[in-house]
A and B are shown apart, each in its own frame.
Chain A
Amino acid sequence: MNAAAGVVPIGWLELALATGFILATGALSLRLGLRLEKDLAIAAARTYAQLLALGFVLRWVFDVNAWWLVVGLLALMVAAAARVILKRAPDAPKGLFGTSAFAVALTGFTVTFAVTGLVVRVQPWYDARYVIPIGGMVLGNSMTGIALAIERTFADLDARAEEMLALTALGATRWEAAAPSVRAALRAGLIPTIAAMSAAGIVFIPGMMTGQILAGADPLEATKYQIVVMLMVSAATAIGAVTAVMLSYGRRFTADGVYLEKGFREDAR
C-alpha cells in the first residue's frame, strides 16, 4: 500500500500483536509486585471493545450523515462528559449534573460549530466526518478542564472555610468570600491547556496532526488544522470552566451569603 494514497491499513493480526506490549507490561507488574495485572487486562480489553465499537458506530454515522444523528450523538457525548465531571469532583455539592451538562454543551456546540462552519467551512454544516471528531476533541478537553476547575473550587473553598468566615463576618458577599478559590481553580483548569499550546511542536507532535500525517496528509495542512484545534480547545476549556464554576460555587452558600461548612450540609457526600 502506498502511504501517500492514504492510511496504511492495519490487519487484525497486527492489531493482536500490539497486545504483546500490554502482556510485557503485565509481566513487569507481576515481577515488581505492582498488582496492576488485572487493571491492565481490563483496561486493554476496554480499549479494544470501546474503540472498535466507536469505529463501527462512526462508520455507520458517516454513512447515514443526517443532522439529527450528528446532533444526537453530540448530546450523548455531552451527557457522558457531565457524568465524568461529577465523578471526578467528589467534594462538589449534589445536583451539579445540569450545570456541568450546560457548561459542556455550551462550549461543545458553540466552539465545534464555530470551527466547522467558519474555519473549516464544511458542507453540509452537520457533515459527520468533521463535526463528530472535532466535537469529540472539544468536549473531551473542556470536560477535563471543567472537572479540574470544579474539583479544585470546592476543595479550596473547604480549605479556606475559616478565612471565608472571617471575610463574611466583615461584610463580604459570597462572591467576595469565594473569589480567591474561584480564581485559583480557573487557573488550575486552564494551565494544562496553556502548557500544551506552549509545548506543541517542540516537545510533542499533537495527536490530531500525528493522525493526519499518518493518514497521508501534507504536514503543513495538518499543522493548520492542529493550530485551529489547539486554539479552539483553549477557548472551549476556558469558557466551559468559567461557566461551570461561576454557576456552581454559590451552591455551597446560603441565601444569606454564609458558606456551608461540612457540619451544616444536608447533602454531605
Chain B
Amino acid sequence: MLFDARGITVTLPGDAGPCRVLDGVDLGLAVREIVDVVGPSGSGKTTLLRALARLLPGATGTLTLAGEPAESVEPHVWRTRVTLLPQRAAIVGGTVRDNLLLPWRLMVRAPGDTPADSVLRPALDNVGLDVDLDRDASRLSVGQAARVALLRVLLARPRVLLLDEPDASLDPASAEQVRGMTRAFAEDGGGVVRVRHQPSDDLASRRFRLEGGRLAEVGA
C-alpha cells in the first residue's frame, strides 16, 4: 500500500451550526493506482483532498505514506510528498519559467536540485505546451495555465498526487493532455486521487462516491 487514510473526519462551521462534512472516510491507494472520487457539489470532495494533504484545519484520522505515519513528518514536508493541485490553477506573477520553478524557491527543497532549462523545455513539449519559457505567465490561456500548474507539481516529484477536477473547464485537447500527464505520473510509480464530475474514463482503477460524509466504492 502506497498511501492509506483511515477514519478521516472533518467538522466545519456552517450557517446552522457545526456540520460534519466527512464522517470516518477510509481510502487506500496502491502504487501506480489512480482512483476517482465523485459526488454531488458540496458533498466534501475538495475537503477530502485537503484533509489528505494536511491542508485542512481540524481534520482528524490517520494518514500513512509508504508505511510512515503522518505524525512523524513535518506538515510542509508531507505536502511535498502528498501534493494537492487545487482546481483553479494558481499562476504567480512572472514568466512560465518562474512558475515552473516556484517549488524550488521554497525552503523545503534544496536550491541545487532546481531543474535547468534543458529539463523544462522537453517537459513543456511533452505535454503539448508550445510556449516560450520567458513568456509572461499572465498571458497563458486557461488550458495552458492548467497544464503549467500540473507540470509544476509533477516536476517536484511527489509520491501521491491529489487532483481537484483537473480537466474541468478545459478544451478537449487540453483535457487529453492532462489525462496523459496523469497516466504517465502513475506509471512512473505514483498514486493519484482525482475528484471529477466528468463521465468515467479509462484511467481510474476504482471509483468512489462521496455522499453524506461517507465514501463508497461504485466500481471502475
Interface range, B side:
20 to 34
Please tell me if B178 contacts chain A, counting CB pairs below 8 Å.
Answer: no
Query: Taking the complex as formed, is B106 at the interface, i.e. its CB lies under 8 A from any CB of chain A?
Result: yes
Q: Which residue of B77, B84, B88 contacts A169 across the interface (Cβ within 8 Å)?
A: B84
Kindly identify which residue among A166, A257, A263, A266 contacts B149, using a CB–CB cutoff of 8 Å: A166
Number of A interface residues in the complex (CB < 8 A)? 20
Are A260 and B57 interface neighbours, CB within 8 A? yes
- Bound-state CA distance A163–B94 (Å) is 14
B86 in complex: contacting residue of A165, A172, A176, A266, CB < 8 Å? A165
Which among A162, A165, A176 is the interface contact of B55 at CB below 8 angstroms? A165
Q: What is the count of residue pairs linking A and B with beta-carbon distances less than 8 angstroms?
A: 74
Alpha-carbon distance between A57 and B54 when the two chains are bound, in angstroms: 57
Establish whether residues A256 and B90, one from each chain, have CB atoms under 8 Å apart when the complex forms. Answer: no
Q: Are B57 and A166 in contact (CB under 8 A)?
A: no
In contact, B13 and A170 (Cβ under 8 angstroms): no
Cβ-defined partner of B57 (8 Å) among A162, A165, A176, A254: A254
Given the known inter-chain contacts A162-B88, A162-B90, please indicate yes or no for A170 contacting B56, CB distance below 8 A: no
Which residues of chain A from 215 to 269 have any CB-CB distance to chain B below 8 Å in the complex?
Answer: 254, 256-258, 260, 263-264, 266
**CA distance in complex: A166, B88 (Å):** 9
Q: A170 near B86 (CB under 8 angstroms)?
A: no
List the interface of chain A (C-beta within 8 A of B): 162-163, 165-173, 176, 254, 256-258, 260, 263-264, 266
Q: What residues of chain B have their CB less than 8 Å away from a CB belonging to chain A?
A: 12-13, 53-58, 75-77, 79-80, 83-86, 88-90, 92, 102-103, 105-109, 149, 152-153, 156
